[in-house]
Amino acid sequence: MENTLSKKLLEQRPEIAERVKIGVINDQLPERIIQFGEGNFLRAFTAWMINDLNRNNIFNGRIVMVQPLKVGIVNMLNDQDGLYTLIMRGIKDGKLVEEREIITSTSRGISPYADWNGLMKCASNPDLRFMISNTTEAGIVYVDEPRPRTETPTSFPAKVCALLYERFKFFNGAPDKGMVMICCELIDRNGEQLRKIVLKLARQWELRQDFIDWIQNSCYFLNTLVDRIVPGYPGDNAEEICAELGYDDHLLDTSELFHLWVIEGPKHLAEELPLHKTGLNVIWTDDMTPYRTRKVRMLNGAHTASVLAAYLANINTVDEMMKDELFHKFVETALMSEILPQVPGDLESNKEFASSILERFQNPYVRHELLSISLNSVSKWKVRVLPSIIDYLKVKDSLPPLLTFSLAALIAFYKGIGCAEPELRGTRNGKSYAIKDDIDVLEFFEKRWYAFRHNHDLRVLVGTVLANETLWGQDLTILPGIVDNVSAQLQSLLFSGMRDAVKNLLERD
């Protein structure tokens, strides 16, 4: 369409800059980053950050976006000259805020499935230094496949290994032409995992030993922690937004205002990619463990500790949960009184992070379905909530009431029948809902609730669930008072109703 976002349109319509911030448009800037992943998240996260650096005349480089899967949007990206609009919305200092920005940091997109040689040619670019990726949790996995010759391999690590080998050969193994891999996949030690697989493929393909040495000595694989909610394309009101913008944008992206990127790596790399110099919430560190612990316990833990109880109380989204006075108090009390005090690190910094979490949960522009968040709740609870309970118990010599209640809510949520992979069917207000988890977990809960319907003994049910070391990584019945506590709370929520159970709990607390 003639009115679709493009460089030509921006030249012809300078008034657009009055209502939308526009990044630096300079085709002479070198391609310094190759990015595996052209989806919503990286476009609203890393590409937005590079846009900010370029605007401040700090980095002065562009991104080549690589489509990691057969189906993607690089053709659409190229049709729009690499441009797209990012709309950031949320609550800041108690007020609704919206920012609109045209991102100009992408030079072009490549699909290796359509143009494998085009991707390989990137290896010979002397300016190329960084590789950024977000290929989802399933992307950094080993796949036994032959070395690619004329066609792209299936897995992401194989693509990386092939690209690095091409670069190694072209520059004769020059140490200064090594690359910095910055992984954004949501798995622990993501960079280390990618490095391990790339080296395994290099040996499997019988590539030169000096190439393997080059990877180990001249390339960096950095672990990172990323945090930003990105709903993506606003399908419900995209037409209305485009009318306000004054142009059509088929790659509209939306995100919250909050962002955090923790990168574990040498300090000299922070000077090469100085994201922290423009006020971006980017932290370079030699140990990301404290930041990961804080995020997992506070952000993810507050989610996991509250959403199952809220769902059983007929609430459907995080926004609705935070608008509900009773559950707002539940979330805030659990976070500020039971989770926060047990998190290591600077207390004031952790308090600021906790306050930002409460604002993010109240963002009306982000529709987070509680049922979606409930996926694999058992493993999430073990990682996100259980450590806070154990630490609270050590310090206070008592169980944290709300976090312990969340375990009773989990057992109630997993009350279902008709187990069939990958879901069990629970019931809320006479209507069924999907309980999704590993098949072994679902079968276990189905059997335990079936036994309860015959013996009517909640304490036996709770004791059997808590004693299952496969679920929790340990026998939880050894925690003083937990079986009696969870049994009493489960009885309360089953027979009095979830809202009354939460109300009574908060009044006692």
User: What whole-number distance in Å separates Cα of residue 371 and Cα of residue 441?
Assistant: 17
**Phi, psi at residue 87, to the nearest 5°?**
-115, 115
State whether 210 and 312 are in the same domain. no
Q: Which amino acid is at 323?
A: K
Does 245 score more than 60 pLDDT? yes
Q: Which amino acid is at 3?
A: N
Is 252 inside any structural domain?
yes
Instruction: Provide the domain count of the chain.
Output: 2
- Summarize the confidence of residues 390-408 as an average pLDDT: 97
The total number of residues shown for the chain amounts to 509
Final residue of a structural domain among 264, 287, 310: 287
State whether 456 and 332 are in the same domain. yes
Neighbours of 217 (CB within 10 A): 11
How buried is residue 248: exposed, middle or buried, by Cβ count under 10 Å (0-12/13-18/19+)? middle
Is 1 inside any structural domain?
no
User: What whole-number distance in Å separates Cα of residue 209 and Cα of residue 143?
Assistant: 21
Report which of 135, 213, 214 is spatially closest to residue 167, judged by C-alpha positions: 214
Distances (CA, A) of 148 to 64, 156, 165, 181, 201: 21, 12, 11, 21, 11
Helix or strand holding residue 355 (H, E) = helix 347-361
DSSP characters over 372-398: HHTTTHHHHHHHHTHHHHHHHHHHHSS
pLDDT of residue 421: 65
Does 492 score more than 80 pLDDT? yes
State whether 171 and 310 are in the same domain. no
Range of 488's domain? 290-508
Can you read off the two tokens belonging to residue 297? 């316990």
State whether 217 and 348 are in the same domain. no
**What average pLDDT does the chain have?**
95
For residue 343, give the CATH number of its domain: 1.10.1040.10
State whether 296 and 283 are in the same domain. no
State whether 347 and 271 are in the same domain. no
Can you read off the two tokens belonging to residue 125? 């670019």
Can you read off the two tokens belonging to residue 21? 């911030």
pLDDT of residue 211: 98
Is 2 inside any structural domain?
no
Under the banding of pLDDT at 50, 70 and 90, the label for residue 186 is confident
Asked if 321 and 327 count as a contact pair (C-beta separation under 8 A), the reply is yes
State whether 328 and 280 are in the same domain. no
**Phi, psi at residue 77, to the nearest 5°?**
-65, -45
Under the banding of pLDDT at 50, 70 and 90, the label for residue 356 is very high
Can you read off the two tokens belonging to residue 248? 């059509």
Q: Which amino acid is at 443?
A: E
- Summarize the confidence of residues 50-73 as an average pLDDT: 96
For residue 218, give the CATH number of its domain: 3.40.50.720
Final residue of a structural domain among 253, 287, 321: 287
Distances (CA, A) of 201 to 120, 147, 162, 205, 221: 17, 8, 9, 6, 15
Q: What is the pLDDT of residues 112-166, one digit of tens each?
A: 999 999 999 999 999 999 999 999 878 999 999 999 999 999 999 999 999 999 9
Under the banding of pLDDT at 50, 70 and 90, the label for residue 509 is low
Is 100 inside any structural domain?
yes
Final residue of a structural domain among 287, 318, 343: 287
DSSP characters over 43-80: HHTHHHHHHHHHHTTSS--EEEEE--SSS-SHHHHHHT
Is 409 inside any structural domain?
yes
- Summarize the confidence of residues 270-292 as an average pLDDT: 95
State whether 207 and 350 are in the same domain. no
Is 80 inside any structural domain?
yes
Residues facing residue 35 across a β-bridge: 65, 132
State whether 64 and 126 are in the same domain. yes
State whether 244 and 294 are in the same domain. no
User: What whole-number distance in Å separates Cα of residue 235 and Cα of residue 221?
Assistant: 36
Is 59 inside any structural domain?
yes
Distances (CA, A) of 264 to 33, 221, 282: 18, 9, 11
Does 420 score more than 80 pLDDT? no
Judge if pTM exceeds 0.85: yes
- Summarize the confidence of residues 219-240 as an average pLDDT: 94
pLDDT of residue 1: 44
The end-to-end CA distance of the chain, in Å, is: 60
Distances (CA, A) of 486 to 25, 333, 489, 495: 59, 19, 5, 14
Distances (CA, A) of 436 to 39, 426, 440, 445: 25, 10, 11, 12
State whether 425 and 310 are in the same domain. yes
Is 229 inside any structural domain?
yes
State whether 93 and 215 are in the same domain. yes
3-state helix, strand, coil in the chain (%, to 5): 50, 15, 35
